[in-house]
Copies of this chain bind each other. A is one copy, B any other.
Amino acid sequence: MISGEVRELDNLVSRTPEDMAEEGVTVRVRHEVMDVDPAAKTVSVKNLETGETFTEPYDALVLATGASASKPPLPGVDLAGVHVLRNLEDGAAVLKTIRGGAKEAVIIGGSYIGLELAEALVKARLKVRVVEQAPVLLPTFGPSAADTALDVLKENGVEAHLDAEVTALEGEGRVQKVVTSAGEFPADLVMIAVGAKPNSALAEGLGLGLGPSGTVMTDEQLRTSLADVYAVGDLTATHHVVSGKPVWIPLGDTANKQGRVLGKILGGGDDRFRGIAGTAVTKVFDRAFATTGLTLEAAKDAGFDAESKEIEATDHAGYYPDHRDLSVTLVWENLSGRLLGAQLVGYGDAVKRVDVISALLFQRGTLQDLADLDLAYAPPFSNAWDPLLVAANVALGR
């Protein structure tokens, strides 16, 4: 929407309250649950339009309060022209600033939301700078992605400042300047893209068991520590199939899947949410980055005796006119050869190959299991040795 590739905000709405009503589900927007009485099994609700308060009973209570964009308490953070991007209203506000004539943008944060925004704002014809506190971009996508992303930003006229701490946003009424440890940058649009925090106030009030980053902990059937209270989506921690530990990687596909699992359970069926592999993909200008499982650094942090290797290949046959570079990094456990993760850097759908590794992570597959696979080959789609197989062979040292 911000880049101009999607024409209407409404195109981004999957379902309206009216759509839900047609399915027999009452959705009350602009209503806030002020309190939960788990003994009486009721919630007290405030109609934010009228101020009226009322009580609703429940058999099962599902907390799906999501997460909010983090907004660090910087001086000037509430100036006009300073935005986050989490929901449609945020998007509409950013568009208003752009249409109001913004020319120079500073994006605070170099993870994928920050970099996707960099692309969108360049397409919207702004001068763009990215300021990142860490020494690398896209940390969960591995070192090769970090280097490539830096090149891609440069190729597209985006200034990136790493190891740079923002100390203040300055301006008269509207933001005009971003003050950082790497210098001061003019800005009439500032995007804060430094991650999210779970909306856990209600859960905390209920005394629910909390997980990493203040998330709500659930079991495989999405039950919280309180009887008949469930939680799903960005609010919750999930089981990581590689590390075996609870993690918070709030993504839309995970939220969707949890909702479906819980819907089945509440409808009287049986199902389980079996966790995540931390699979993610992002497009930054013409380049694509994908990750699943753990990077080498994350694997070592998680206590694995891990090793990794990167190979460079092409996504389609090397003699085929449309082939492009594709690099694959595999991360595995020494001795056992168990796959722990993979990161891909390439173009377009070619990096969706990451899903093959994700499938093996769920099955606790090894490098040998990967090397054995029969992957689809024809010159417009792959080399005879798919890059994943090349990576497995190289990792196996043969």
Interfacial residues, chain A to chain B (CB-CB below 8 A): 5-6, 11-12, 112, 241, 251-254, 256-257, 260, 264, 269, 271, 274-283, 288, 290, 292, 315, 319-321, 348-356, 358-360, 362-363, 365, 369, 372-378, 380-382, 384-386, 388-389, 393, 398
Contact = CB atoms under 8 A, between A and B. Distances in A.
A277 B374 contact: yes
B372 A274 contact: yes
Contact of A355 (B252, B282, B356): B356
10 contacts: A12-B319, A253-B375, A269-B398, A279-B376, A280-B377, A315-B349, A352-B376, A355-B376, A358-B374, A362-B372
A345 B348 CA distance: 18
A374 B253 contact: yes
Given A256-B384, A281-B381, 6 more contacts: A279-B375, A281-B376, A352-B381, A352-B382, A355-B386, A358-B375
Contacts of A348: 349
B6 A319 contact: yes
A377 B252 contact: yes
Contacts of A353: 352, 355
B252 A384 contact: yes
A340 to B, nearest CB: 14
A279 B271 CA distance: 31
Contact of A385 (B253, B363, B382): B253
A6 B373 contact: no
A341 to B, nearest CB: 12
Contact of A374 (B6, B254, B260): B254
A280 B376 contact: yes
Nearest to A378: B281
A253 B381 CA distance: 13
Contacts of A271: 398
Q: Which of A269, A320, A355 has the most CB of B within 10 A?
A: A355
A264 B372 contact: no
A261 to B, nearest CB: 9
A266 to B, nearest CB: 13
A281 to B, nearest CB: 4
Contact of A373 (B12, B251, B355, B372): B355
B373 A358 contact: yes
A260 B393 contact: yes
A251 B355 contact: no
